[in-house]
Amino acid sequence: MIKLIVFLPLLAAIVGGLGNRALGNTVVKLLTTGLLFVSCALSWPIFLGFLGGGMTAHVEPVLTFIRSGDMSVDWALRVDTLTAVMLVVVTSVSALVHLYSWGYMAEDPDQPRFFSYLSLFTFAMLMLVTSDNLVQMFFGWEGVGLASYLLIGFWYHKPSANAAAIKAFVVNRVGDFGFSLGIFGTFLVFGTVSIPAILAAAPGMAGSTIGFLGGRVDTMTLLCLLLFVGAMGKSAQLGLHTWLPDAMEGPTPVSALIHAATMVTAGVFMVCRLSPMFEMSQTALTVVTYVGAATALFAATVGTVQTDIKRVIAYSTCSQLGYMFFAAGVGAYGAAMFHLFTHAFFKALLFLGAGSVIHAMHHEQDMRFYGALRKHIPLTFLAMMAGTLAITGVGIVDVFGFAGFYSKDAIIEATYARGTTAGGIAFFVAVVAALLTSFYSWRLVFLTFFGKARWAASEHIQHAVHDAHGHGHDDHAAAHAHYADHAAPDEGAGSEPHAHDAGADDVKHGTAGYHPHESPFPMLVPLGVLAFGAIFSGFLFHTPFLDAEHGVEFWKGSVAFDAHLMHAMHGVPLWVKLSATVVMVTGFLLALWAYILDTSIPARFTSTFRGLYAFLLNKWYFDELYHVLFVIPAFAIGRFFWRRGDQGTIDRFGPNGIAKLVVGSGAAARRLQSGYLYTYALVMLLGLAAAATWAMTR
């Protein structure tokens, strides 16, 4: 069964990619979507089997992969509780994204290529989560990086999409270099890349040292930090996060699949899979805690001022990944994985809901040009509300709550229960980030679905009405160009545009005839399924993931589950349990006040705190800092070696120098060729005299 789950998406990618337009859009979409739903249907029984205790961990061999000296790598598929959780996350979200793309990508002429890329990504992610050794994990790790590059740059004729794809690829290579060093070091220390063998031997390496950069350092600390660098790149943690917001240049289904629910969680999965290693180094766990906390706070602050609806959700993803990492850093691996599980549902729902809004607004992504959409797209509104209630953590203690109420609150309680300095700092950051999360989430809802319609100010809507009243989109190539050009408009800045009722101004701007429309059926079905997960996944599954006694039985050693921490987590003071709810309500009230009751507040805030606003709008100036530190020096070094090395040395004394020598000697030789007999006789005489002189001197 596990082999079918993993290799059916690969089959879909190969057939769809090679068949492409020869098979046609409908055949490729049916094939790829159908096989993904089969993988999904086969994954849930495995998860439920581990949930009910009737299934045990096992490994299914596929083939012999590498035999080189002492290194032996077999391609095998590991199935345990951790794998089962990731299987349902990856296949469920991927299958729903495939179905959603039937409607969202309906105008695009390159649909076979898009669907084959989606299936290729799913296969690589499944290879990653079922890996039984680090080399196989690295194979899947690089595979999802390749698929991410292809999907972010899917609209390759757009320079911005190409730049975003290259940026994601390069930044991830930085993290992957650290990850590869960690794998090399692990093999050097343990003599194997088999994950079970490494985890079994890890306690024996506690306290040992290893030579590194001319000194001696703790072995497990070094290995764990190198591996964590890879996790930072893949999961967009602070320092290697800059690629994630730019990745929104890809189609919205890509954002939901890769940058919300699956690929960006690979780093969290890897840390949890190797948690027995990390438990051997308190220093490494502390670093993980601080990096996760810093990321959660950074991304939450930046998300409060973004105007592009997809970028708000992208920074929200970055922030929630920070939650998962500092949960792992304090040893609450069950809570980290539970938040990964619930987050997959409500964040994929928010991204796909945003795609539905963008579809309704003719690919306008700036929330300042939305407003009053709840009456026009009511089903999308309800889905987005479910996702917002889930991510903000709405619920009543010991009664019922949305998904985030159980998973995010559990992380907050676990950081407090850990009782360490790092845990205390993470607790404070988690509460502040929860406040900001509530604010920017409700800000998105209010700007998009409430208030007055602000559509007339949008050039994209004006173009849409012009197309609808004029030539339309009958021409397929023109439709493709229009679709892609407006898929990711430039992000605006400044205060909210002036809101006004639809009326004379709309007629003047040519938008009176435009009405937002609800998405087609293939887009609404995934929204409904994900909304169900956002509402009920926390309530249904929190006990096996988080309960001290049930957790030990559920995880079965697949992660370093700390039952004592879970006991302490459930026994924290009431004010700790209520802190997340209090800040959630506070964030909601602030957003309500600023974007519904008194809409002049945002403009007054930005004018009063221009420096702070610019700092947040420019994402703490990380891109500008990296441009100064890395891009400019890299270009300077490149120009130096190009002009002084390549042109000034190699070309000068190499091909150009030799060519110049040949030309010069040829010109000199031509001057000797006068054509007169006495000249040649003189030369011969001089030659004979020189030869005779040389012979006599010898």
- Predicted pLDDT at 504: 34
Q: Is 191 left (phi over 0), alpha (psi -120 to 50) or beta?
A: left
- Identify any residues that bridge with 74 across adjacent strands, giving them in sequence order: 64
Decide if 376 is inside a domain: yes
Of 307, 619, 600, whose CA–CA distance to 443 is shortest?
Answer: 307
pLDDT at 458: 63
Query: How many structural domains compose the chain?
Result: 2
**Three-state secondary structure call for residue 329:** helix
Instruction: Tell me the pLDDT tens digit for each residue of 602-627.
Output: 999 999 999 999 999 999 999 899 88
Give the domain range for residue 292: 2-453+518-617
In a domain, 9, yes or no: yes
Specify whether 667 is located in the same domain as 613: no
- Same-domain pairing of 541 and 604: yes
**pLDDT score recorded for residue 24:** 85
Let me know whether 375 and 325 are in one domain. yes
Q: Answer yes or no: is 602 within a domain.
A: yes
Please tell me whether residues 684 and 546 are part of one structural domain: no
Task: Give yes or no: residues 272 and 381 share one domain.
Answer: yes
Alpha-carbon gap, residue 48 to 54, rounded angstroms = 9
Domain co-membership, 681 together with 577: no
* Position 493 in a domain: no
Give the CA count within 13 Å in the CB-facing half-sphere of 591: 26
Q: What percent of the chain has pLDDT over 70?
A: 92
114 lies in the same domain as 233: yes
HSE-up (13 A, CA, CB side) for residue 669: 6
Residues 304 and 426 in one domain: yes
- Is residue 555 domain-shared with residue 675, that is, in the same domain? no
pLDDT digit string (tens) for 166-191?
999 999 999 999 999 999 999 999 99
Q: 683 and 602, same structural domain?
A: no
The Cα 9–Cα 39 span in angstroms is: 8
Residue with tokens 């069950």: 334
Residue 563 maps to a domain: yes
Both 589 and 688 in one domain: the answer is: no
The pLDDT of residue 68: 83
Low-confidence ranges of the chain (pLDDT < 50): 468-512
Note whether residue 418 is domain-resident: yes
502 part of a folded domain: no
Read off the pLDDT of residues 345-372 as tens digits, 9 standing for 90 and up.
Answer: 999 999 999 999 998 888 888 999 888 8
Residues 6+ apart with CB under 8 A from 105: 111, 114, 251, 253
Distance of CA 318 to the CA centre of its chain: 8
560 and 666: one domain?
no
> The whole model's pTM is what?
0.87
* 542 inside domain: yes
